[in-house]
Amino acid sequence: MAQNEDMSTETHLGSENHSDHPTPLTYFKVAMILSIITAIEVGIFYVEDLSYGIIPILTILSVMKFALVIMFYMHLRYDNRLFSTLFLTGLALAFLVVIALLALFQFFTPS
Amino acid sequence: MIQMKAKVIKGARILQEAVTTQHGTDHEYTTTGLNHRKLLMWAFLGSDCMFFGSLIATYMVYYGKSKVGPFPEDLFSIPITSVSTFVLLMSSMSMVLAYAAIRKGSLKGFRVWILSTALMGMTFLAFQVFEFYEFANHEVHFDCSQVGTGNLSAFEESFQNECIEGVTTVDGIHDSDGNNLTGLTPKTNLFGTTFFTLTGFHGAHVTLGVIWLLSLFFYSFRGGVTRERDLDVDLAALYWHFVDIVWIVIFTVVYLFGVFPGFPES
Amino acid sequence: MTTSILSRPIHPTGLWAWLTTIDHKRIGILYGVTAFIMFLSGGIEAMYIRLQLAAPEQELVSPEIYSQLFTMHGTTMIFLAIMPMGAAFFNYLIPLQIGARDVAFPRLNAFSYWTFLGGAVMLKSSWFLGGAPNAGWFGYAPITSSAYNPGHGIDFWILSLQILGIASLAAAFNFIVTIINLRAPGMSLMRMPIFTWMTFVTSILLILAFPVITVALIEVMFDRFFGTNFFNVGAGGQPLLWQHLFWVFGHPEVYILILPALGIIAEVIPTFSKKPLFGYPVVVLSGVVIGFMGWMVWSHHMFTVGLGPVANSVFAVTTMAIAVPTGVKIFNYIATMWKGSISLTTSMLYAIGFIFLFVIGGLSGVMHSSAASDAQQQDTYFIVAHLHYVLFGGSIMALGSGIYYWFPKMTGRLMDEKLGKLNFLLVFIGMNVTFFPMHFLGLDGMPRRIYTYDSDMGWNLWNAVSSVGYLILALGVLILIVNIIWSVLSGEKADGDPWDARTLEWSMSSPPPEYNFEHIPIVHGIDPYWEQKREGLSTVPISGGSGDDDSHGIHLPQPSYWPLLASLGLFVSGYGLVYLSSSIGLVVSIIGAAITMVAVYAWSFEPVNDPDEGEGH
Ligand SMILES: [Cu+2]
């Protein structure tokens, strides 16, 4: 297809968002944040005083990493919301099913 | 002309005849303006969440239910796994830079970054192979004077009967043929079964990703990867990042939660 | 493309045309014919069951064979008959209903069909290769473990279900993208035909539910092949985990079987009532709500395993609640008929039969949604009665309605109405005579899956009646076959719109041309073709935007060998994996995997249209 036809398609649809992607610098910054969070995770792991407090902290830190990767590296933040909907439907359902299964197997019930 | 019709017809964004069939499939007419293959990839990733969700649920349901050792705390080495986790995270950055390069039309930059991504993926796999090998050949070594002091793991304590008269240290448990009896295999216990299955399927995903990345790398020398077809790279990248985020979950749930000092002993 | 090892089948004819086709209409017909044959084979398995149970203390089949019969009957009907029959309609109709020339991924579509065929053949071949699976369609652990089930039957079951799963997933991804992305201009989501909507919801359920059963099957497979401990009680494994994983998949699967049926009925009833569907948005919404709530009820299959009062209560309440959106749909269908000018064609009779029977099945379902009452009914013939009212009275009746409705569109000929009405009558009566007495048997305590019973249990009469019912039902299906064959050969010719129908597929000739729409239609409302006919609005307008008005300029995707070969590889490696314990099995499975790898590679380098051939656009 001719180049100009592509262009016109894009201006009409305007949804692939070829323009406002982040720059390599942003990608690098995200990588730095990811590394720092991982370092904190591993560091916290050795703080014995935290005991069970480590669970919420590590959970929050991993969720942050997860969110950074899908928002920036998988550019969901800049992309059509339909992509997010498709993915988050599966993700949310998987999360709920895992939690329900664990509850049914008394994972959260102290023995 | 096109704009006129689009005004007349509510909901119609563009009228373009050939529907499923343009040669360069990246810019065919679609209702939403989104690319077919990209939609497919996101739907697939949503579906794959359920796949890994089921595996993780199985792992967690059986957490601490193994009847014999070795247990997670006998095997996991957080420093080593942290390094491989770091490598996989950095491969995601490298991947996104490969994508940024091809979008700018820099084939050279693309090749450098995609190759480095694939190499980091292979490094991660090498770590995994090393880890599996180490676990399978895990041996127990302890000083018999430590028995009952609380310094030994439950698994080590279970071999206290080896400390008979005249034995001061236990150096591995072997059968008459010299085979190690204290390694972890998928058959050993529930931990082995669920651990190898979960991380093994993740490793299989990484392997597939490495093959995909290398295919793109070599295809680029035959003119198959171009700025106009950046979507081919985008799709591989989405898959690769997904494999990365699955590992983020596994690293926390399996490794960190698996062995932190406060967790109930199995 | 130079990467092609085989030259591309550009204009194949005869058998090759079918083997390499990527036309959604042909694939739909392949799906339909295959599913119908599988339906008959599942019916033959049911025949043995009904013959064996017709009288007490019979030894027509051994207990071992009986277990294989009910396992194969259930697995066949669910995975090889009803699901692919639904897929046949998805394939044939979705592009036509949304105004598209094909599905979004035509080659993936062909791959789905061939993979399905491979899985079906593989499962059925187990009868001749040392015995069919025998652990029931839900294959509870640890009956499936190699300790209790050393033969290859379970291996065939596991691997063919994995292959069928790949087929279903590929098809579901395809339809999700097709429905999102290939709607004709103007067809917003809330103008889509209900059948398209239900296909969409079904596909979403599929891609979310099948990974769960995939993992569960992998776990059993590893236990059997590699000695892992997932369901090994000795090592602490819990068979209960299988039940949970299976039903997390299994309950959405029930809606995967029934939502397409509800969609078909929503097309048939308005057409033959000459009224628009009553409460279109509500019907859409209730379908989506069913798809959502279908995830919250799975443990109602497990009320008697001892989950505890809290879990049982929660799942009982959610199960009762899910009857609401289902009921809403039924009310809408009845309200559509209300004061309509109803023509009682065979298709409409099937649709009305559906409503009647599905409501009975729904009511018995509500009965055992109460955990306390379910404790009495679990594993009895009451459940068998319920599930057949839902799956036969529901899904099959709707599919029958769909066959009579769309047959003229697919073949260009009408089905015979006299034979049709006889067919409907026999199936309707036969179905009730077969399955209604099972309610009594179940409440009387007859367990399911027993191969015979003592003559003094008081179950003789109703079992005999049920077996007679089978004969009536079988006669009805026989007449359907006669009707189909006769009508294909010499049925009355049908024009494009024999029913004065509402949706886009009726706006084209019967059967539709290969490229479907010469010009992509423009949609103004929920029932675009109906509106066009009534109000003179133009559905089929004008030329498109790209400036080629010539219908011969339509680029159709070209046939391809690779989907067929990729499926073949899966089929081969499936057999290899069954015999993995022998070295030949290992070699065969590697060969199969290699074939698939090569085919997928070649496929991904093959353009949708070969630039060497086409019109050089
Ligand atoms: Cu259910």
* pLDDT tens per residue, range C60-80: 999 999 999 999 999 999 999
Does A4 reside within a domain?
Answer: no
Amino acid letter, A111:
S
Whether residue B25 is predicted with pLDDT greater than 50 in this model: the reply is: no
Distances, alpha carbon C207 to alpha carbons B40, B44, C86, C183, C204, in Å: 11, 8, 16, 21, 5
Does A56 reside within a domain?
Answer: yes
Q: Which residues on adjacent β-strands are paired with residue B142?
A: B170
Tell me whether residues C181 and B39 touch, CB distance under 8 A.
yes
Which range, B28-37, B236-245, B255-264, has the best average confidence (pLDDT)?
Answer: B236-245
Q: Which of B117-121, C14-18, C386-390, C418-422 has the lowest mean pLDDT?
A: C14-18
Please tell me the predicted confidence (pLDDT) of residue B14: 30
Region for residue C13 given its phi and psi (left: phi exceeds 0; alpha: psi -120 to 50; beta: otherwise) = beta
Q: Which of B157-171, C29-43, C211-225 has the lowest mean pLDDT?
A: B157-171
* Average per-residue pLDDT for chain B: 84
Q: What angle do CA B43, B45, B47 make, to 5 degrees?
A: 70
Q: Please, which pLDDT band fits residue B260 given cuts at 50, 70 and 90? A: low
Whether residue B33 is predicted with pLDDT greater than 90 in this model: the reply is: no
Q: Please, which pLDDT band fits residue B107 given cuts at 50, 70 and 90? A: very high
Q: What is the mean pLDDT of residues C124-145?
A: 93
Task: Name all chains with 3 or more CB-CB pairs below 8 Å to chain B.
Answer: A, C
Tell me whether residues A62 and B249 touch, CB distance under 8 A.
yes
With a pLDDT cut of 90, the percent of chain A lying above it is 47
Report the separation in Å between the CA atom of B254 and the middle of ligand 1, taken as the mean of its atom positions.
32
Report the separation in Å between the CA atom of C254 and the middle of ligand 1, taken as the mean of its atom positions.
7
Tell me whether residues B11 and C519 touch, CB distance under 8 A.
no
Mutant choice from C244, C249, C302, C307 vs A, greatest count of A C-beta within 10 A:
C244
Of the CA atoms within 13 Å of residue C366, those in its CB half-sphere come to 12
Does A11 reside within a domain?
Answer: no
Q: What is the mean pLDDT of residues C514-524?
A: 84
Domain B35-138+183-266: which CATH number of 1.10.3720.10, 3.40.50.150, 1.20.120.80, 3.20.20.70: 1.20.120.80
Q: What is the mean pLDDT of residues C364-377?
A: 91
What Rg do the C-alpha atoms of chain A give, in angstroms?
20
Name which of B33, B46, B260 is nearest A86 (Cβ-Cβ).
Answer: B46
Counting the structural domains of chain A, the total is: 1
Q: Which of C474, C363, C396 is nearest to C429 (CA)?
A: C474
Please tell me the predicted confidence (pLDDT) of residue C7: 61
Q: Please, which pLDDT band fits residue C6 given cuts at 50, 70 and 90? A: low
- Chain A, residues 8-47, CB within 8 A of chain B, namely 9-10, 12-16, 18, 21, 23-24, 27-28, 30-31, 34-35, 38, 41-42, 45
With a pLDDT cut of 70, the percent of chain C lying above it is 93
Whether residue B7 is predicted with pLDDT greater than 60 in this model: the reply is: no
With a pLDDT cut of 70, the percent of chain A lying above it is 81
Whether residue C221 is predicted with pLDDT greater than 90 in this model: the reply is: yes
Does A5 reside within a domain?
Answer: no
pTM of the model: 0.91
* pLDDT tens per residue, range C250-271: 999 999 999 999 999 999 999 9
* Average per-residue pLDDT for chain C: 90
Which range, B13-17, B65-69, B145-149, B187-191, has the best average confidence (pLDDT)?
Answer: B187-191
Tokens of C115: 């993979």
Please tell me the predicted confidence (pLDDT) of residue C535: 72
Distances, alpha carbon C239 to alpha carbons A71, B55, C39, C162, C300, in Å: 39, 16, 31, 20, 17
Does A40 reside within a domain?
Answer: yes
Does A50 reside within a domain?
Answer: yes
* pLDDT tens per residue, range C581-595: 888 999 999 999 999
Q: Which residue of C has its CA nearest to A100?
A: C296
* pLDDT tens per residue, range A82-107: 999 999 999 999 999 999 999 999 88
Residue A97, chain C, CB below 8 Å: the answer is yes
C260 cis-preceded (ω within 30 degrees of 0): no
Report the separation in Å between the CA atom of C354 and the middle of ligand 1, taken as the mean of its atom positions.
20
Does A7 reside within a domain?
Answer: no
Residue pair C581/C551 in contact by the 8 Å Cβ criterion: no
Residue pair C35/C88 in contact by the 8 Å Cβ criterion: yes
Whether residue B3 is predicted with pLDDT greater than 80 in this model: the reply is: no
Please tell me the predicted confidence (pLDDT) of residue C524: 83
Q: Where are the domains of chain B?
A: 1-33, 35-138+183-266, 139-179
Tell me whether residues B50 and A62 touch, CB distance under 8 A.
no
Does A3 reside within a domain?
Answer: no
Q: Which residue of B has its CA nearest to A97?
A: B53
Q: What is the mean pLDDT of residues B79-85?
A: 91
Please tell me the predicted confidence (pLDDT) of residue B9: 37
What span, in angstroms and rounded, lies between the C-alpha atoms of B38 and B35? 5
Name which of C180, C240, C248 is nearest A97 (Cβ-Cβ).
Answer: C248
Residue C234: how many other CB atoms lie within 10 Å: 9
Q: Please, which pLDDT band fits residue A16 given cuts at 50, 70 and 90? A: very low
Q: Which residue of C has its CA nearest to B208?
A: C597
Domain range enclosing A54: 23-104
* Average per-residue pLDDT for chain A: 80
